[in-house]
Every structure is written in structure tokens, then in C-alpha cells.
Amino acid sequence: MKNKHTFTIQKLGILILSLGLMTSCNSKKKAEKDNKTTDTEHHQNKSIKGATYGDDVRFMKYYIELIELTDANHQSKVAVTAALQGRVMTSSAFGDEGRSYGWINRELFESKEIQEHINVYGGEERFWLGPEGGQYSIFFKKGAEFTLEDWYTPKLIDLEPFDVKNVSATSATFTKKASLKNYSGFQFDMEIEREVAILSKDDIQTDLGLQTLSENLKTVAYQTTNTLTNIGKKEWKKDSGLLSIWLLGMFNHSPNTTIVIPYVQGDDAELGKVVNDTYFGKVPSDRLVVKENAIFFKGDGEYRSKIGLSPMRAKNIAGSYDSANGILTIVKYNKPKNVTDYVNSMWEIQEEPFSGDVINAYNDGAPEPGAKPLGPFYELETSSPALALKPGESGTHIQTTYHIEGNETTLNPMVKELFGVTINEIKTAFK
């Protein structure tokens, strides 16, 4: 990637010439006031472990152009880039000095190297397409083995930029026309449109269905509307493979982060198993716990593992809680009723290619002893149904990501209402 300096930093220098005692005293008082402000800002930065939003944005601007969305108070901020498919790179609930919620792979940016299989730049919501594995995969060429050596992320969703359609203070829309062939040789001719819009605090309260939202909470949220249109001459059918819209968010891991996913309760014989925990081998019981109301999965970046929920078990919400920093992350999406066909991303020739998962969570870690992890980070993911589209038809997947920071007492009623568990249950899930 080429270095790009997208903004000019303006520096204002103020020279005060003191001609008398009064002016000198005023200058001294002003200097003391400025020093106090600087100390406060330093304390705020020092209290945040890891990069602030401002830190990450300044870093990324050397490598890619960013579009920054903000609310009316300029406290909620979202950084988006067309260079990486309209990707949400990071966000903040407290302006430039706030915590940076997205995981950013600084090492890869700095190297300026293009990787062969995937370029993991990070970002807290990226646009992908599925399926990843199987006879209708778009990550494996026809006849390839389902191994890491033969797995390639399509350039469309890895390195290619999207076009900017329009931008305002609170939203940005991106488009892209492209073609992809799947493992079975079918070509999809498509147009993608992706809108990213920041939400106000009132919007957050309404969308989450909350009676109140305390002013003591720091909040940021954004909604993405992702539309895929068949612009080709052929109908997209099951017997030649279908696509799904797949949204994945990379977030900063910590030893105190637990992923929480409520699920539809019921008999396994009717609804199927609660969770698919065999993507990269079975997840150990000290990392995945299924309780009465929710699934608990570690987001510590220490063990490579992935889980998924089928459309019969998934609700329209997933999230995580960092107990050390009081960070509640929520992901909601538009789950259609009575739809069960989702693409299957397992790395094998599949007997049931449309029995895939709708919600996934991934915890990064070393793929084998002694190897380097991708991040580490953790991910929350949602998918649209398999899209059987005639020429000219479209399918849309909407996802909203919320970050809410506050103390446990203030957050607990919200967690209980949205996830059906208490913060204490999250904190003690693995004890």
C-alpha cells in the first residue's frame, strides 16, 4: 500500500509578549491552567491500556484514507475506509481520547507487504461473502484440497477498494461491481452496496428497546446495510451454489473478555445441538460453557477456536463483556423468520451445503504450538441467509454494533435485559 497523508495538521502558535506586571500574572495563570489541562489529558490516556482512537486513526492515515463519522457531540466516532471494502476500522465512545475498539494489525500495515492467502489488516466490521468451504466455496478453486495451503481469500473481499458513492457527517455509502467463481465453477456477477451510519444515543436506546440509557455511560454504535444484487444473466440456484453476506468484527482480546450468546432453548431432537464447536477441533470445556440461558466463550486470544449457532438456535443478538474495563459490546442483525437455508462453511465436501450457521464467534491463538497467531484478537460474526437471486434481484443484511462503557452497577440491568444473564454470571462462567 502507498503512504497517504490525508489530512494537513494545522499548528497554532501563540506568542504572548509581557509588557507589565498584570500581563505577566495573567500569562502565569494561563500557563498553570494549560498545564492542568495537559495533566488531565495525560491521565485519561494513561488510564486506557492500549491505543486510543486518536492513536489508531493517526497511525492508519499514513497508509490508507479514512472517512470519520461522528455524532452531534463529537464524542461517538467511527473510522471507515473505502480502501478495504468500506470496512469499519475502529470506533470510540469518547472522542479521540477514547478507547479504540477495533483491533488493528499495525505490523502488517508497517510492513507494506502483500500476503498470499489473506491480508489481516484488522477492523471491527468487514464485508465478506460465504461460503468459505465446501463444494460451493469461493475460497477454494475447483479441485483444490480443503487445506490451509489451498485456501485463498478472494481479492474482492481482501485487497480491492470499493467506490465511494456518497458521504455525510454521519454516514458513508460504498459500491462495487464484481464477479466470482465458486469451487463448482459457477460465476456470480454481482453488485455490492454497503452503507455505514453512526447512531445517536437516542437511536441506541430505541434500537435496543431500553427504557432508559444512563448519561453516565459512554456509547458508540453504527449500523451497516449491506445489499448484494445479481447483475448477471443467470439465476443463482442451490444446485450451482449460493452466496451469503458475511460480516465479521475483529476486537481487542483480553484475559477478562467473555463472549456471550443467548440461544433458543428446546429439545435437541427438534432444534439440533445448541452450538457447533468443531470448526478447528472440539473446543475444550474450560473455554466454552453452555448454560441455561446463554453460551459463554473465552475471548482471550490465547487459543484458536470457533463456534457457531444454527438458525434454529440463534437469536438476533450476540455480544461480549470485558470485566476489567467495563466494556459491553453488542452485535444485532436482521434475522428473518422461518428461514433455515444458510451456507455451510465447513472445509469438506458437504452432504448438507445449506445447513450452515448464522452466528459465529472466533477466538484467535496459535494455529499450532510455537506458531504465530494471526493477531491475536476475537471476532463476532453474523451471516445472511443463502441468497437465491434471479437476475436483478437483491438481498440485504443489516448489522448494528454497539460499544457501551460504564460501571457494573449501571450496565448490569441492561445485560440482564438483553442477554438474560447477569454480569456476575458472565464473570464466573468459567469458575
> What is the pTM assigned to this prediction?
0.88
Task: Please say whether the beta carbons of 53 and 96 come within 8 A.
Answer: yes
Residue 142: partners with Cβ closer than 8 Å, 6 or more residues away = 181, 183, 184, 185
280 confidence band (pLDDT: 50, 70, 90): confident
Say what the pLDDT of residue 201 is. 95
Residue with cell 495563570: 29
Q: What percent of the chain has pLDDT over 70?
A: 89
Strand residues in 231-353 grouped as ranges (E): 244-251, 257-262, 288-290, 294-298, 305-309, 317-322, 327-333
- Whole-angstrom CA distances from 50 to 47, 168, 325, 394 are 9, 30, 12, 41
What does the pLDDT look like over 234-277, one tens digit per residue? Answer: 999 999 999 999 999 999 999 999 999 999 999 999 999 999 99
Q: Mean pLDDT, the chain, as a whole number?
A: 90
What does the pLDDT look like over 197-230, one tens digit per residue? Answer: 999 999 999 999 999 999 999 999 999 999 999 9
Q: What is the 3-state secondary structure (H, E, C) of 172-233?
A: EEEEEEEEEECCCCCEEEEEEEEEEEECCHHHHHHHHCCCCCCCCCEEEEEEEEEEEEECCC
pLDDT at 376 over 50: yes
Say what the pLDDT of residue 148 is. 87
Say what the pLDDT of residue 46 is. 41
pLDDT at 20 over 80: no
Say what the pLDDT of residue 48 is. 66
Between 49 and 21, the more confident residue is: 49
Residue 385: partners with Cβ closer than 8 Å, 6 or more residues away = 244, 311, 336, 339, 341, 342, 358, 395
112 confidence band (pLDDT: 50, 70, 90): very high
Residues 39 and 44: their CA atoms lie apart, in Å, by 9
Residues 162 and 195: their CA atoms lie apart, in Å, by 12
pLDDT at 34 over 70: no
pLDDT at 38 over 60: no
Q: What percent of the chain has pLDDT over 90?
A: 84
47 confidence band (pLDDT: 50, 70, 90): low
* CB-count burial class (<10 Å; 0-12, 13-18, 19+) for 118: middle
Neighbours of 419 (CB within 10 A): 23
Q: What are phi and psi of 376, to 5 degrees?
A: -90, 165
What does the pLDDT look like over 64-95, one tens digit per residue? Answer: 999 999 999 899 999 999 999 999 999 999 99
What does the pLDDT look like over 140-195, one tens digit per residue? Answer: 999 999 998 999 999 999 999 999 999 999 999 999 999 999 999 999 999 999 99
End-to-end CA distance of the chain: 46
pLDDT at 5 over 80: no
pLDDT at 307 over 90: yes
Q: Please report the sign of the dihedral spanned by the C-alpha atoms of residue 151, residue 155, residue 156, residue 157.
A: positive
3-state secondary structure of 152: coil
pLDDT at 381 over 50: yes
